[in-house]
């Protein structure tokens, strides 16, 4: 019984009850199954994005973002530039107090390298409704390869508390045919 202390001080030398041993075997086996399923679903499930991270100065990243905006702006929306970069290109999205800059317009079924960084504090990039989540740190260029497969409007939410205006920090990505 587990309620009373073991009769011997060397309790580990006592035999294990069959019921307890069967639960240990079941738990160990299930742990192995889950471990190998994580490895399998990373590749086959296509649900975990493989990303890259590079050190970069915030002003360098901001300059790359502004160069992309200048070269590929198609219109403005609520004071934000809407940028439509060519398919297969590098796309830059900057998190800053309290917005994601700029609004992106991407083509369906085309691949892009999405670069994410912050110019001020840590932010969380959460693309809804597809549930892509990436931590975005100042001084790092997080690169995620994406291939939008459905047209529509996608919302970007900051899911890392970044200050008093955190609840206002949203952005958009349009995917067009």
CATH number at residue 72: 2.60.40.420
Q: Is the pLDDT at 29 greater than 70, yes or no?
A: yes
Integer angstrom CA distances of residue 75 from 39, 95, 147, 165: 43, 20, 23, 26
When divided into structural domains, the chain yields a total of 2
User: According to the model, what pLDDT value does residue 44 have?
Assistant: 77
Compute the average pLDDT of residues 133-159.
94
The two three-digit tokens of residue 107, written as one number: 């083509």
Do 83 and 32 lie in one domain? The reply is no
> At 63, is the pLDDT very low, low, confident or very high (cuts 50, 70, 90)?
very high
Do 93 and 30 lie in one domain? The reply is no
In this structure, is residue 6 part of a structural domain? no
In this structure, is residue 28 part of a structural domain? yes
Q: Is the pLDDT at 26 greater than 80, yes or no?
A: yes
The two three-digit tokens of residue 110, written as one number: 């085309």
| Boundaries of domain holding 34 | 11-44
First-last CA distance in the chain:
67
In this structure, is residue 159 part of a structural domain? yes
Element (H, E) at 19: helix 18-44
Do 69 and 39 lie in one domain? The reply is no
Do 166 and 126 lie in one domain? The reply is yes
Do 58 and 103 lie in one domain? The reply is yes
Q: Is the pLDDT at 16 greater than 60, yes or no?
A: yes
Q: Is the pLDDT at 12 greater than 60, yes or no?
A: yes
Do 57 and 80 lie in one domain? The reply is yes
Q: Is the pLDDT at 81 greater than 90, yes or no?
A: yes
With a threshold of 0.85, does the pTM exceed it? Answer: no
In the block, residue with structure tokens 């107090």: 97
In tens, the pLDDT along 31-62 reads 999 999 988 887 777 666 667 999 999 999 99
| Bridge partners, 116 (sequence order) | 93, 142
- Interatomic CA distance for residues 139 and 27, integer angstroms: 43
> At 93, is the pLDDT very low, low, confident or very high (cuts 50, 70, 90)?
very high
């Amino acid at each position: 019984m587990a309620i009373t202390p073991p009769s011997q001080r060397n309790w580990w030398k006592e035999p294990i009850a069959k019921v307890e041993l069967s639960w240990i075997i079941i738990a160990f086996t299930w742990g192995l199954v889950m471990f190998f399923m994580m490895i399998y679903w990373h590749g086959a499930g296509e649900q975990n994005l493989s990303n890259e991270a590079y050190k970069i100065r915030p002003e360098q990243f901001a300059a790359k973002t502004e160069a992309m905006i200048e070269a590929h702006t198609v219109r403005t929306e609520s004071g934000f530039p809407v940028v439509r970069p060519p398919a297969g290109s590098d796309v830059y999205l900057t998190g800053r107090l309290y917005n994601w800059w700029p609004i992106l317009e991407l083509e369906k079924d085309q691949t892009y390298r999405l670069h994410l960084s912050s110019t001020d504090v840590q932010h969380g990039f959460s693309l809804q409704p597809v549930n892509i989540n990436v931590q975005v740190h100042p001084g790092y260029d997080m690169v995620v390869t994406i291939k939008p497969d459905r047209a529509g409007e996608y919302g970007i939410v900051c899911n890392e508390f970044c200050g008093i205006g955190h609840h206002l920090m949203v952005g958009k990505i349009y995917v067009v045919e």
